Amino acid sequence: MRDALGRPQTVAVFGGTSEIGRSVVDLLLRRGAARVVLAGRDTGALEDVARDLRRRHGARADVVPFEAADRSSHERAVDEVFAGGDVDVVLVAFGVLGDQERDERDPAAAAEVVDTNFTAAVSVGVAVAGHLRVQGHGTLVVLSSVAGERARRSNFVYGASKAGMDAFYQGLGAALAPEGVHVMVVRPGFVKTRMTAGMKPAPLATTPEAVAQVVVAGLDRGARTVWAPPPLRAVMTVLRHLPTPVFRRLPL
Amino acid sequence: MPAQLLTGWGRTGATRAEVAAPGSAEEIADVLAGAGRRGVLARGLGRSYGDAAQNAGGTVVDTSALSSPLELDGAGSLKVGAGVSLDTVMQTFIPLGWFVPVTPGTRQVTVGGAVAADVHGKNHHVDGSIGRHVSRMRLVSPTGVHELGPDDDLFWATVGGMGLTGVVTEVELRMTPIETSTMLVDIDRTPDLDATMSLMAEGDEGYRYSVAWIDCLSTGRSLGRSVLTRGDHAPASALPGRRRDDPLAFSPRTRLAAPPWAPSSLLNSMSIRAFNEAWYRRAPRRERGAVHGLAGFFHPLDGVSGWNRLYGRRGFLQYQFVLPFGQEDVLRRTVERLAGGGCPSFFGVLKRFGESDAGHLSFPVPGWTLALDMPIGPPALGPLLDALDAEVAAAGGRVYLAKDSRLRPEHLSAMYPRIDEWRAVRDRVDPDGVMCSDLARRLGLLAHSPGPGPL
């Protein structure tokens, strides 16, 4: 159960090797969480993470195999994540950036980005929501992106996939509110991770640790949407309202 | 059954449950028999601050339909339905010359809830907690209906058992005879914690009721300054002439209602400091034999309905712990840390407990208990209270489960060393783990190993 201060006891991450996911888990364990379930594709790497968490935090850490691309396996993986008892916070952290130049010319590659970031996120969201409804409590945190707020020339395939999942989870939040379940959408900007290695950092670039701070602060106050870093909220509000000819001329 | 989002009085950590309102032991037995995997829990008036009366994903039995009987015999033995509030009991029987044996700081609790939390009052150092005054009760557990008395171990597993042994439907309570509905009150304003504690240690035995309101924000030389209020029921002869005509009149009024909405920032360090200052200044330095009404003496906050809303959307918690006698240094250190910790606290209450009663999970042990209301928000609040938990546990103390909303399971067995004994009695009448609460899940109360429960 989460306590009166909003601190969870059990956290599950889909995309357990995600750097943002790991930072969030680290922070929640330091604040008193006692159990972690890591779901992801590379179970070898996840076992390493789990060992590290057990050693550093004395936490219970379990690993569940989960393959975003294999839609038929989602329900089973989600069932397994919940098999060990209530989960207070579920973090949906998997996703791919794709390669814009390739994706806008290669239909299969574009569909793959959308399959992972949107279709799989929706399918996992529906399955997780089923368990949270039964529990009657819990928080579902999903890593969206500012790229979904307005389509940009430089990453619109990725941006479109995030826009879709962002909208889905907003709606899911409305559906689950009467069930005692809370949904929080996280919109990070440019985060320095493996995913963005070699790219030129955008303005207001941030780190996984800083995103984790924003996520946990949002959990504490029961936020529905958070931006990381927080000033991006104002920036995106302006960008969303720029006339298209002006927006297109911006070097974004 | 309608689904509802439920919180405790602190308005934190809402969870969803299906709410049923059975009116008889038979109907309760049906609810227990038809329970799903997430179990069942009784809920009275929802005055526990934390998650004690919540059951996420499960069934919550609203006990308000258990409103009968309400019968007093000539010897002062009251047969009462578990869903009846202490408010109703007092409004009905004070005019007849009978007071409840124990009352918490509010009348708005049910008899069943009072037994489940084994509540204490300002008379604990003389009269113990409420369980001591219960002569019989009827409990509907998942395995049947039990008529229990103080010789049964299930009785004491239920007194203070936080509703986890079953649903109490009826209680027999020994009432306290009174001649008037007024109190004779002595008030002392003390300059610091040491003065407060020595005054209480020396003089409490001379009073049936004693409590100190303590300012937990002042530091330095006025650390722990208090307003100590002690008194007894006034005999008829002590009343001024005009009040002798109707010495047992009791008509408590709700004077104010909190607005339905308040910003989370309303009760902040500054406003709370100002309130504490005013409360301290307005108390007389020393007063003897003042005549006060029962409601003002026992339940000052009942005068403002819905006062918990004043803490805003994020709500608040109450931190209440007890430290055994001999651990006064720890108490002093605790008050210092609370005063300097950057987390404002409201309505600090300090009280000396007398002898314990036999409830396995009953809170009071002989010693000092301190209770504080604290708004949720300051980032330092979690780490501060976690550190205090560790100190309290190490000193042989405990926090009060009926107030708790944030304790961690690792402290449970140190604070409640009879937990395994309680579990053994409980498991006998609920082998399948039907009775469950969010508190039980958070603290692993039902599990035989520490950690969040399996449900």
Among chain A residues, the shortest Cα distance to B382 is held by: A5
B-proximal residues of A, 93-112, CB under 8 Å: none
Per-residue pLDDT, averaged over B227-247, amounts to 90
CB within 8 Å: A4 and B315: yes
Which of B50, B51, B408 is opposite residue A32, by nearest beta carbon? B408
Count of C-beta atoms within a 10 Å radius of residue B328: 17
Q: Residue B450: its pLDDT value, please?
A: 38
CB within 8 Å: A136 and B58: yes
Which of A4, A135, A180 is opposite residue B406, by nearest beta carbon? A4
Residue B408 has pLDDT above 80, yes or no: yes
Which of A1, A31, A179 is opposite residue B382, by nearest beta carbon? A31
Q: Residue B344: its pLDDT value, please?
A: 87
Q: Which chain A residues contact residue B5 at CB under 8 A?
A: 178, 180
Number of alpha carbons in the 13 Å side-chain half-sphere of residue A243: 2
B-proximal residues of A, 74-93, CB under 8 Å: 85-86
Q: What's the whole-number average pLDDT of chain B?
A: 94
Residue B356 has pLDDT above 80, yes or no: yes
CB within 8 Å: A178 and B3: yes
Q: Residue B270: its pLDDT value, please?
A: 82
Q: How far apart are CA A135 and CA A139, in angstroms?
A: 11
pTM of the predicted structure, to 2 decimals: 0.95
Out of A66, A94, A118, A158, which one is annotated catalytic? Answer: A158
CB within 8 Å: A1 and B57: no
Q: Residue B451: its pLDDT value, please?
A: 39
Q: Pairing relation of β-strands B70-72 and B59-62? A: unpaired
H/E stretch holding B287 reads strand B286-293
A169 a catalytic residue? no
CB within 8 Å: B16 and A10: no
What percentage of chain B has pLDDT greater than the value 70? 98
Range name among B127-136, B191-200, B235-244 with the lowest pLDDT average: B235-244
B-proximal residues of A, 17-46, CB under 8 Å: 31-32, 34-35
Cβ partners under 8 Å of residue B242, min gap 6: none
Q: What is the mean pLDDT of each run of 10 residues along chain A (252 residues)?
A: 96 96 96 96 96 95 96 97 97 96 97 98 98 98 96 94 98 98 97 88 92 97 96 94 92 78
Distance from CA of B85 to the nearest CA of A (A): 26
| Residues B276-310: tens digit of each pLDDT | 888 888 889 999 999 999 999 999 888 888 889 98
B41 DSSP β-pair partners: B60
CB within 8 Å: A136 and B10: no
CB within 8 Å: B38 and A178: no
Q: How far apart are CA B165 and CA B151, in angstroms?
A: 16
Query: Which pLDDT band holds residue B4 (cuts at 50, 70, 90)?
Result: very high
Q: For chain B, what's the residue count? A: 455
The answer to whether B38 and B57 are in contact (CB under 8 A) is yes
Among chain A residues, the shortest Cα distance to B56 is held by: A136
Q: Does A58 touch chain B (CB under 8 A)?
A: no
The answer to whether B247 and B239 are in contact (CB under 8 A) is yes
Torsion on CA atoms A85, A88, A94, A95, rounded to nearest 10: 140
Q: Which chain B residues contact residue A179 at CB under 8 A?
A: 3, 16
Among chain B residues, the shortest Cα distance to A221 is held by: B314
Residue B176 has pLDDT above 50, yes or no: yes
Distance from CA of A35 to the nearest CA of B (A): 9
The answer to whether A190 and A227 are in contact (CB under 8 A) is no
CB within 8 Å: B406 and A5: yes
CB within 8 Å: A137 and B314: no
Distance from CA of B439 to the nearest CA of A (A): 8
Tokens for B6? Answer: 């439920």
Which of A5, A85, A134 is opposite residue B376, by nearest beta carbon? A5
Which of A3, A10, A32 is opposite residue B405, by nearest beta carbon? A3
Nearest-5° Cα angle at B344, B339 to B347: 90
